[in-house]
Amino acid sequence: MKKLVVIGIALIALVGFTSALQAQSARDYISIVGSSTVYPFATVVAEQFGKTSGFKTPTIESTGSGGGLKLFCAGVGVEHPDITNASRRIKKSEFDTCQQNGVKDIIEVKIGYDGIVMANSKKSAPMKLTRKDIFMALAKDVPDPSGAEKLVPNPYKTWKDVNPDLPDKKIVVLGPPPTSGTRDAFVELAMEGGAKKFDYVKNLDKKMFKATAHTIREDGAYVEAGENDNLIVQKLEKDPDALGIFGFSFLDQNADKIQGSFVDGVAPTFDAIAAGDYPVSRPLYFYVKGAHVGSIPGIDAYLKEFTAEKAWGEDGYLSDKGLIPMPDEERKKFASDARSLNPLMLQ
């Protein structure tokens, strides 16, 4: 009995380590990392790809855009991911890191758009906000209400304080924590847009401007609700006065419970985001490691699957999942670039 156990343990350990050595020398599946916003779309493509292509299903980790690019740019070889998803474009500094680490050919694929919505429960009226309202309601420091050209700690308690046209309701906004890509995009697109409406804020030096526009108040009006957008939806149902910030796909899936707020007069609808009318929207990307095409099986087939009309087209299965497609022209350009593996150039 005891001997059997010992032999069993030894066997398992042996099998484990020999197979580890084997796996080290070859990887027969695509490894994808990156943005949590792109994750729901990439996973659908990967699953479809795995079921129809005969290749193994790619593994997809949701590491955030920055985390994904860091892993992606760490080097060439089976231990490094082949593709990274990003909810923003690659930065020059990241591109340079990639180059330094031997990741020379990077193929950029823009896949569509995502809208960031501010939504509230259907039990109350939809909000009609401007980006200026959003900035004034959520920034830590705002321009002095008296008109003097200085910043004061945010004094606004209700939406009516911010803008007399808005309802007399307490400002309560549930949103993602700073580690989230959604928060980054929200701050950049909505808050910055609002801050620019104040001339002297706009004229601050770049660093000061960023600090002003990107710093969200911490006095309880903005509640960090964690990365789980479903939780925010649940909380909105309980508190009709609260607003929540999340990706369009969650609004799409929960249209019976919540409604999106107008921003600058535009409601966050599929069409408005696709047309580029809704201001708080961002492009989504993924980046492919050119050096891995050919050595890791299936990368080109995956690119083909992703850029097929049935996936990212107007009526593709990704639009069912809430991805806002690019206009026809743009799709064509990126599809052909991707299929011919045109590497990205950044100055």
Partner 1 sequence: MSDSTINAPASLAAMPSKRTIDVVNAGLAKRYRAEKRFRIYGVTAIILSLCFLTLLFVDIISKGYTAFWQTKVRIDVHLDPEVLQGENLQTADYPGLVKKSIRNLFPDVQGRKDRRLLNGIVSSGAAFQIRDLVTANPDRIGSTVQLWVPADDDVDMLMKGHMPRDVPEDERRLNDKQLAWIDQLQREGRLQKTFNRILFTVGDSREPELAGIMGAVMGSVYTLLITLVLSFPIGVATAVYLEEFAPKNPWTDLVEVNINNLAAVPSIVFGLLGLAVFLNFFGLPRSAPLVGGLVLTLMTLPTIIIASRAALKAVPPSVREAALGIGASKTQMVTHHVLPLALPGMLTGTIIGMAQALGETAPLLMIGMVAFIVDIPGGFTDPSTVLPVQIYLWADSPERAFVEKTSAAIMVLLAFLMTMNALAVFLRKRFERRW
* Residues of span 60-89 touching partner 1 by CB under 8 A: 60-62, 78-79, 81
| Residue 33 beta carbon to partner 1: minimum distance, rounded to whole angstroms | 8
Check residue 9 for interaction with partner 1 (CB under 8 A). Answer: yes
Q: How far apart are CA 232 and CA 230, in angstroms?
A: 5
First vs last Cα of the chain: how many Å apart? 68
Q: How far apart are CA 63 and CA 74, in angstroms?
A: 14
* Residues of span 191-230 touching partner 1 by CB under 8 A: 227-230
Which of 152, 208, 255, 275 binds partner 1 (CB under 8 A)? It is 255
Tell me the per-residue interface mask from 312 to 331 with partner 1, x by CB under 8 A, - otherwise.
---x-x--xxx---------
How are beta strands 173-175 and 222-224 bridged, if at all? parallel
Nearer Cβ to partner 1, position 20 or 345? 20
| Residue 32 beta carbon to partner 1: minimum distance, rounded to whole angstroms | 8
Nearer Cβ to partner 1, position 45 or 338? 45
Structure tokens at 319: 């639009």
Tell me the per-residue interface mask from 30 to 49 with partner 1, x by CB under 8 A, - otherwise.
-x-x-----xx-xxx-xxx-
| Angle separating helix axes 39-53 and 299-306, nearest 10 degrees | 120
* Residues of span 145-184 touching partner 1 by CB under 8 A: none
Exposed/middle/buried for residue 158 (C-beta within 10 Å: 0-12, 13-18, 19+): middle
Nearer Cβ to partner 1, position 74 or 266? 74
Nearer Cβ to partner 1, position 52 or 93? 52
At 291, the amino acid letter reads A
How are beta strands 83-86 and 281-289 bridged, if at all? antiparallel
Q: How far apart are CA 161 and CA 170, in angstroms?
A: 9
Which of 37, 38, 50, 184 binds partner 1 (CB under 8 A)? It is 50
How are beta strands 281-289 and 151-153 bridged, if at all? unpaired
Which residues sit opposite 112 in a β-bridge? 284
Check residue 289 for interaction with partner 1 (CB under 8 A). Answer: no
| Placement of tokens 């830590």 in the chain | 140
Chain residues in the site for partner 1 (CB under 8 A): 9, 12-13, 15-17, 19-20, 22-24, 27, 29, 31, 33, 39-40, 42-44, 46-48, 50-52, 54, 56-57, 59-62, 78-79, 81, 122, 227-230, 247, 249-250, 252-256, 315, 317, 320-322
